[in-house]
């Protein structure tokens, strides 16, 4: 489960809730101000492993060099944080909330490739896998499809960079999400699950049996990270009107029940 979806709750409270629900681990929001060893001990006390880290919203493709440099520095700190946690995967993605290039698109693509070459090598030296998340067009502007992500991997040319596919984003961008998984094959490094409306499994129209079958076909053995949010306006915040935590936990319980019955 992605911890950011619980909103402003302290990590200890989130961990206690996830333990009660029966989760195995978390994708941790990348707050590098935390003590990584203390964070690991806290989560282990609740039976939770750290599978991956999601970044703060930084911009690797901004026309201003100092903005790109600051983004690289943030990711370098996140990679070191992951190393100290024991080697959790580090997720990377485009700037959320920027829907068009600020410079020429090919120029920004080149900056992204250059940044990922640096970060993939930094992560390899730290024995951490870097995964690039494919977001939908309403969240970011450069990489929206599996085909574009695979083109990006080819351009970067580093074996330590993998693809993160998200069922919610694929619902918006892929005509056949299961085929997208098969196309990614062994370059798939992490999987996010949420239904077509970003609620729990069974509350939308995503064909999850087809997705899980495709994951088996490509031999994916990594974690399945639920990135579910409570229903309501503003997709960029987990906090909704009413008792959003009760709704979130109900959806998570439904999702776990479905997954463990497969």
Is 133 catalytic? The answer is yes
Instruction: Give percent helix, percent strand, percent coil of the chain, each to the nearest 5.
Output: 45, 15, 40
Question: Catalytic pick from 108, 139, 227, 249?
Answer: 227
From 54, 112, 122, 113, select the one nearest 83 (Cα to Cα).
122
Place of tokens 């996010």: 192
> Could you tell me the residue range of the domain that residue 22 belongs to?
3-261
Residue 175, CA distances (Å) to 153, 179, 228 in order: 21, 9, 22
Distance, in Å, from the CA atom of 78 to the CA atom of 67, rounded to the nearest integer, reads 17
Does the pLDDT of residue 234 top 90, yes or no? Answer: no
Question: Is residue 50 a contact partner of residue 35, using CB atoms and an 8 Å limit?
Answer: no
Does the pLDDT of residue 231 top 90, yes or no? Answer: yes
Count how many domains the chain has.
1
Give all strands of the β-sheet with 161-166 in edge-to-edge order. Answer: 25-29, 49-54, 89-92, 130-133, 161-166, 188-193, 224-226
Is 227 catalytic? The answer is yes
Tell me the pLDDT tens digit for each residue of 34-65.
999 999 999 999 999 999 999 999 999 999 99
Question: Catalytic pick from 27, 133, 174, 249?
Answer: 133
- CATH at 7: 3.20.20.150
| pTM of the full structure | 0.97
Q: Under DSSP, is residue 51 helix (H, G, I), strand (E, B) or coil?
A: strand
Distance, in Å, from the CA atom of 92 to the CA atom of 73, rounded to the nearest integer, reads 13
Tell me the pLDDT tens digit for each residue of 4-14.
999 999 999 99
């Amino acid at each position: 489960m992605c911890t950011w979806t619980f909103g402003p709750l302290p990590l200890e409270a989130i961990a206690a809730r996830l333990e009660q629900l029966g989760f195995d681990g978390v994708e941790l929001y990348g707050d590098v101000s935390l003590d990584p060893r203390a964070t690991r001990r806290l989560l282990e006390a609740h039976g939770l492993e750290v599978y991956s880290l999601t970044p703060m919203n930084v911009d690797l493709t901004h026309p201003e060099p100092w903005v790109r440099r600051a983004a690289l520095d943030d990711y370098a700190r996140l990679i070191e944080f992951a190393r100290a946690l024991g080697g959790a995967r580090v997720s990377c993605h485009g700037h959320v909330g920027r829907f068009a290039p600020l410079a020429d698109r090919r120029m920004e693509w080149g900056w992204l490739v250059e940044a990922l070459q640096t970060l993939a090598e930094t992560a390899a030296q730290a024995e951490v896998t870097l995964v690039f998340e494919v977001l939908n067009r309403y969240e970011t502007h450069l990489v929206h499809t599996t085909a574009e992500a695979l083109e990006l991997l080819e351009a970067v040319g580093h074996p330590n960079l993998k693809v993160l596919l998200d069922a919610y984003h694929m619902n918006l961008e892929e005509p056949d999400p299961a085929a997208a998984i098969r196309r990614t094959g062994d370059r798939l490094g992490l999987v996010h699950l949420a239904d077509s409306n970003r609620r729990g499994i069974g509350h939308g129209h995503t064909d999850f049996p087809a997705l899980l079958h495709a994951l088996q076909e490509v031999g994916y053995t990594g974690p399945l990270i639920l990135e579910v949010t409570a229903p309501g306006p503003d997709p960029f915040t987990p906090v909704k009107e009413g008792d959003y935590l009760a709704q979130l936990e109900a959806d998570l319980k439904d999702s776990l029940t479905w997954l463990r019955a497969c």
